[in-house]
Amino acid sequence: MNKISIIIKREYLSRVRKKSFIIMTILGPILMASIWVIPLYLANISDEQKTIQVLDETGIFVSKFRNTDEFTFVPVDIDFETAKDNLSLSGDYALLYIPQTQLSLPTTGILYSGRQTSVDIKSYIKDVMKKEVERLKLEASGVEPDILESIKTGIRLNTIKIDADGNEEKSFTEVSMVLGIFSGILIYFFIFMFGAQVMRGVIEEKTSRIIEVIVSSVKPFQLMMGKIIGVALVGLTQFLLWVFLTLAIVSVFSVAMSNGATLTKSETLFTEQGKMLDGKQLAEFSENMDQKDDMIIQLLEAVRSINYLEMIGAFIFFFLFGYLMYAAMFAAIGSAVDSEADTQQFMLPVTIPLIFSIVMAQFITTNPDGPVAFWLSMIPLTSPVIMMIRIPFGVPYYELFASMAILILSFIGATWLAGKIYRTGILMYGKKVSYRELWKWLRYNQ
Query: In sequence order, which residues have a C-beta less than 8 Å from that of residue 401 and are 6 or more positions away?
Result: none
CATH architecture of 50-143: 3-Layer(aba) Sandwich (3.40)
Distances 69 to 43, 46, 61, 204, 340 between C-alpha atoms, Å: 11, 8, 20, 59, 56
pLDDT at 172: 62
pLDDT at 272: 45
pLDDT at 305: 61
Question: pTM value?
Answer: 0.64
Contact present, 233 and 12 (Cβ < 8 Å): yes
Q: Is the pLDDT of residue 209 over 90?
A: no
pLDDT at 7: 81
Q: Is the pLDDT of residue 275 over 50?
A: no
Lowest model confidence (mean pLDDT) among 49-58, 144-153, 418-427: 144-153
pLDDT digits (tens, 9 = 90+) for 147-202: 777 777 666 666 666 666 666 666 667 777 888 888 888 888 888 888 888 888 88
Rounded distance between C-alpha atoms, residue 289 and residue 266, angstroms: 10
pLDDT digits (tens, 9 = 90+) for 392-408: 888 888 999 999 999 99
pLDDT at 154: 65
Please give, one letter per residue, the 3-state secondary structure of 240-263.
HHHHHHHHHHHHHHHHHHHCCCCC
How would you label 284-297 residue by residue, b for 16+ Cβ within 10 Å and e otherwise?
ebeeeeeeeeeeee
For the chain, give the percent of residues with pLDDT over 70: 77
Per 3-state DSSP, what percentage of the chain is helix, strand, and coil (rounded to 5)? 70, 5, 25
Measured at the CA of 212, the angle between CA 228 and CA 200, to 5 degrees, comes to: 40
DSSP string, 305-348: TS-HHHHHHHHHHHHHHHHHHHHHHHHHHHHH-SSGGGGHHHHH
- Hey, is 81 helix, strand or coil? helix
pLDDT digits (tens, 9 = 90+) for 214-235: 767 777 777 788 888 888 888 8
Question: Which amino acid is located at 239 in the chain?
Answer: F
- Hey, is 370 helix, strand or coil? coil
Average pLDDT over residues 344-349: 80
pLDDT at 230: 86
Query: In sequence order, which residues have a C-beta less than 8 Å from that of residue 409 and are 6 or more positions away?
Result: 380
pLDDT digits (tens, 9 = 90+) for 79-112: 888 888 888 888 888 888 888 877 677 788 888 8
Domain boundaries, the chain: 2-29+174-246+305-443, 50-143
pLDDT at 164: 63
Distances 252 to 262, 308, 309 between C-alpha atoms, Å: 18, 21, 23
Chain-wide mean pLDDT for the chain? 77
Residue 383 or 337, more confident: 383
Contact present, 257 and 39 (Cβ < 8 Å): no
Contact present, 121 and 94 (Cβ < 8 Å): yes
Average pLDDT over residues 334-339: 78
Contact present, 201 and 334 (Cβ < 8 Å): yes
